[in-house]
């Protein structure tokens, strides 16, 4: 179990009111937190919440006596999340947040204390849970600054819209740029983009390959997918989807810059699962086009899946591979 989740549940058990209406931002299933309304933008975690019987929402409504918050990886996302949590708190309500110490728990506890006096702090499992109340007005300047962080913005010198917390939220990923450069203009028919993020690769493919009839973007992060809807125009469809569960169709070509982290931890198995899904979802004669960090051992996995990998480019720490 995610240790920050265990620490959050501990603080809630000891200091929260289990009968009070609760909202869980960044929800993950825990036996003590199943009654909370769950908001979770990452599909694999949202699926786990649903399987555990939690009520999921993609747009929480109203005010809650308790708001629980498990932040993601980015600083901006965490601070914006504090402001968002505040806006859902009923008068007198309590916000409890938890983070791993290595994710900056002490630093974020101090940040939150700038807005409202700290009510409690619990250290356990190399994590920290901390809470504030909504009994007096929070610091307005802090709230305003944090709210601003959540606003959609453009990647500098581009027309691409992003929000904090999504992959590559302040620049175009250099690996994906390398793959885009090496995409053959002859790609045609139905194409899938696995782990499409905010849409960079799909946008590049549609711009370069006039014979693509449709591109399906599969992405686990609903916030990134919402940006992709703005960034990718043309024959594109958008799917909030866990790629490791397979795809609903078969494709002439598949593009991917596979993820290899789950939360903070390196997870090569996730990259392998993407390639397995890709191999199963190619039409006969189709091709896979991928970019990866140079040291990632994907070639042997592609061969084990019956594909024939070919190195197209290797530069700046990345390699571009095509596999028929
Ligand atoms: C390396 S990024 C590439 C993003 C995008 N293609 C680009 O070039 O900017 C990998 C993407 O895979 C997404 N992802 C991670 N796990 C996933 C899963 N199980 N199913 C679908 N997408 C996933 C991440 O949210 C991230 O956007």
CB–CB of 53/82 below 8 Å? no
Q: Locate tokens 């493919």: which residue?
A: 205
- Per-residue model confidence (pLDDT) at position 264: 65
Q: Locate tokens 């043309």: which residue?
A: 234
Q: Please tell me the residue having the least CA distance from ligand 1 atom 4.
A: 197
How confident is the model over 284-307, as a mean pLDDT? 94
How confident is the model over 187-212, as a mean pLDDT? 98
Q: Which of 77, 176, 219 to mutate to test the pocket of ligand 1 (most atoms within 8 A of CB)?
A: 219
Residue 235 has pLDDT above 70, yes or no: yes
CA of 170 to the centre of ligand 1 (A): 15
- Per-residue model confidence (pLDDT) at position 267: 77
How confident is the model over 15-30, as a mean pLDDT? 93
Residues 143-167: tens digit of each pLDDT: 999 999 989 999 999 999 999 889 9
CA of 259 to the centre of ligand 1 (A): 5
How many alpha carbons lie under 13 Å from residue 235 in its C-beta half-sphere? 14
Q: Please tell me the residue having the least CA distance from ligand 1 atom 27.
A: 197
CA of 222 to the centre of ligand 1 (A): 11
CA of 217 to the centre of ligand 1 (A): 10
Residue 206: pLDDT band by 50, 70, 90 thresholds? very high
Please state the φ and ψ torsions of residue 295, each to the nearest 5 degrees: -80, -5
| CA–CA dist 148, 163 (Å, integer) | 11
Residue 174: pLDDT band by 50, 70, 90 thresholds? very high
- Per-residue model confidence (pLDDT) at position 115: 95
**Ligand 1 pocket residues where CB is under 6 Å:** 44, 167-168, 173, 176, 195-197, 200-201, 218-221, 224, 242-244, 257, 259
Residue 271: pLDDT band by 50, 70, 90 thresholds? very high
Residue 263 has pLDDT above 80, yes or no: no
Q: Which of 182, 195, 262 to mutate to test the pocket of ligand 1 (most atoms within 8 A of CB)?
A: 195
Give me the domains of the chain, ranges plus CATH numbers: 3-149 (3.40.50.150), 153-323 (3.40.50.150)
Nearest residue to 70 (alpha-carbon basis) of 57, 85, 86, 59: 85
Residue 266: pLDDT band by 50, 70, 90 thresholds? confident
Residues 56-104: tens digit of each pLDDT: 999 999 999 999 999 988 899 999 999 999 999 999 999 999 999 999 9
- Per-residue model confidence (pLDDT) at position 265: 72
Q: Which of 197, 277, 290 to mutate to test the pocket of ligand 1 (most atoms within 8 A of CB)?
A: 197
Residue 311 has pLDDT above 70, yes or no: yes
Residue 262 has pLDDT above 80, yes or no: no
> What sections of the chain are H helices per DSSP?
3-15, 43-51, 75-88, 105-115, 140-149, 174-182, 200-208, 222-231, 268-280, 298-304
Exposure b/e, 192-214, CB count within 10 A at least 16 = b: bbbbbbbbbbbbbbbeebeebeb
Please state the φ and ψ torsions of residue 45, each to the nearest 5 degrees: -75, -35
| CA–CA dist 242, 31 (Å, integer) | 24
CA of 265 to the centre of ligand 1 (A): 15
């Amino acid at each position: 179990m995610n240790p920050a989740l265990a620490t959050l549940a501990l603080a809630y058990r000891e200091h929260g009111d289990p009968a009070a209406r609760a909202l869980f931002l960044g929800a993950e299933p825990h036996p003590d937190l199943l009654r909370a309304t769950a908001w979770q933008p990452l599909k694999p975690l949202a699926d786990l919440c649903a399987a555990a019987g939690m009520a999921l929402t993609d747009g929480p409504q109203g005010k809650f006596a308790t708001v629980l918050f498990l932040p993601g990886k980015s600083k901006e996302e965490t601070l914006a999340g504090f402001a968002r949590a505040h806006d859902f708190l009923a008068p007198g309500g309590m916000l409890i947040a938890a983070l791993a110490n290595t994710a900056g728990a002490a630093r974020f506890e101090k940040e939150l204390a700038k807005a409202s006096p700290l009510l409690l702090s619990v250290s356990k499992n190399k994590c920290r849970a901390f809470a504030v109340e909504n009994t007096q007005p929070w610091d307005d300047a802090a709230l305003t600054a944090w709210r601003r962080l959540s606003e959609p913005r453009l990647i500098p010198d581009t027309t691409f819209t992003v929000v904090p917390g999504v992959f590559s939220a302040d620049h175009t990923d250099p690996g994906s740029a390398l793959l885009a450069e090496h995409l053959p203009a002859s790609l045609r028919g139905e194409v899938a983009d696995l782990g499409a993020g905010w849409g960079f690769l799909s946008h590049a493919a549609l711009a370069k390959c006039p014979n693509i009839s449709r591109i399906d973007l599969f992405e686990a992060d609903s916030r990134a997918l919402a940006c992709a809807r703005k960034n990718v125009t043309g024959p594109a469809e958008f799917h909030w989807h866990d790629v490791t569960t397979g795809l609903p169709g078969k494709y002439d070509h598949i593009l991917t810059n596979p993820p290899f982290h789950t939360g903070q931890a390196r997870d090569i198995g996730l990259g392998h699962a993407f390639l397995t899904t890709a191999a199963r979802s190619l039409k006969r004669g189709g091709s896979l086009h991928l970019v990866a960090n140079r040291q990632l051992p994907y070639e042997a996995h592609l061969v084990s899946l019956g594909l024939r990998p070919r190195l197209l480019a290797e530069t700046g720490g990345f390699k571009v591979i095509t596999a028929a």
